Structure 1
Amino acid sequence: MPHRLLFAARLANACRSADTRDAVTDAEDAQSARRFVQAFYDWYVPLGDRAPATRLYRVVARGPQWFTPMLQHALQRDVDAQRNVADIVSVVGDFDPFLNAQDPCPHYAALAVVPRGTGWQVAVSAQCEGGVATPAVLLDVAREGTDWRFANVRMPERPTVDLVSQREAAQAMRDSVSRSDTARSSY
């Protein structure tokens, strides 16, 4: 009987150790995701363009470093649609989705990190002049190999609306306009 009790105690300790290790691993993973997001903003914000699309054109060109293939493809198509067009025909033509603004604040801070799917969602706050901090964006990040990548961008005021679905809606609108223009020109 004492042997069984000793085994049960060892098993219970092993289970507690595994739970603790998972919690520690999750905490380290979450902080790693937050550091990835902060590194992006530390690089991105000083680019300093006031025109929303031109700053994003630069980051999309370097996209594989920052984005999952799906988000990279969506952003590239959006940028390509907006490039050399005077009217706003894309998400990036209207505002900078990573800053959720046309006129960015001087600093952005990656703050809260919560689990989202198989990755994390990192809340980013705009640190504006006068000490005012406002929620800017919610970034979904996912692992690709050993590196983090942005998988989607959400707006805090409407967290169910995301960049990928907005881009798809903009593409559908462009396709609809293109079909109607083609139909009119065939008359």
Structure 2
Amino acid sequence: MTLGGLQAAAQPSRDATADSVGRVVQAFYTWYTPLATASGAGPAWMRAIHERRTLFAPAIVAALRRDSVASARSPDEVVGLDGDPFLNAQDPCEHYVVRRARRAGDRFLVDVVGEGGCARHTRADVVVEVMRGASGWRLENFRYPDPPTDLLAMLRRLHQR
């Protein structure tokens, strides 16, 4: 192999980076979905940010904690999230699968689709924004296609003072 061939082989391709990001997101959903579909105490997303805090952007952790506090103060009414923010569902599918990861500027966008035990989905249920953080890939935000919004914007609207 020539020197140029060695250098090209040593540099990760854009596809390899997108594949790496996709594997991180899939590993999260493989771990998270059983938590979200099991009945238990408290919302699964709070357990996720507690147990896997370094996987999430600080803004997501802070916004979900604010939402949790607001919900606890008003147990008889919905004042915050009324569905799972990582699955974009009130009635989740059996599992969630990464369909595509692509670069968008300084981040990656990862399409995630729910399957099994739900209606067939023709497009992503959620698009996960991922960036490189100090300790590896980090989930920065969760975009929702219908209606178009995202987790951080939705939580800001819910808790405007």
Instruction: Indicate the TM-score class for this superposition, using the shorter chain for normalisation.
Output: 0.7 to 0.9
Native 8 Å contact 1:116 1:140 kept in 2: no
Query: What's the % identity of the aligned pairs?
Result: 32
Partners of 1:20 and 1:154 in 2: CA distance: 34
Decide which of 164, 170, 181 is 2:158's aligned counterpart.
170
- Deviation (angstroms), 1:146: 4.5
Equivalence for 2:63? 74
Pairing 1:128–2:116 present: yes
Partners of 2:17 and 2:84 in 1: CA distance: 27
- Please report the RMSD computed on the Cα atoms of aligned residues, expressed in angstroms: 2.8
Q: Give the alignment of 1:18-37 within 5 angstroms.
A: 24-37=12-25
Equivalence for 1:110? 98
Pairing 1:87–2:77 present: yes
- Of stretches 124-133 and 59-68 in structure 1, the one that deviates more from structure 2 is 124-133
Equivalence for 1:100? 88
Q: Letter of the aligned partner of 1:124 in structure 2?
A: V
1:131–1:54 CA distance, 2 compared to 1 (3 A):
closer
Unpaired runs of at least 5, structure 1:
1-12, 176-187
Query: TM-score of the superposition, structure 1-length normalised?
Result: 0.72
Native 8 Å contact 2:46 2:64 kept in 1: no
Q: Deviations over 1:34-68 (max 9, x none)?
A: 011111111111113358x6112211222423201
State the secondary structure of the residue aligned to 2:102.
strand
Q: Letter of the aligned partner of 1:97 in structure 2?
A: P
State the secondary structure of the residue aligned to 2:23.
helix
* Structure possessing the higher radius of gyration over alpha carbons: 1
Q: Deviations over 1:76-109 (max 9, x none)?
A: 211222125221111x2x1101111111110100
Partners of 1:116 and 1:19 in 2: CA distance: 23
Partners of 1:19 and 1:74 in 2: CA distance: 42
Q: Letter of the aligned partner of 1:79 in structure 2?
A: S
Name the count of aligned residue pairs: 156
- Of stretches 67-76 and 130-139 in structure 1, the one that deviates more from structure 2 is 130-139
Native 8 Å contact 2:54 2:135 kept in 1: no
- Deviation (angstroms), 1:18: 7.6
Native 8 Å contact 2:112 2:128 kept in 1: yes
1:164–1:18 CA distance, 2 compared to 1 (3 A):
farther
Unpaired runs of at least 5, structure 2:
none
Q: Letter of the aligned partner of 1:88 in structure 2?
A: V
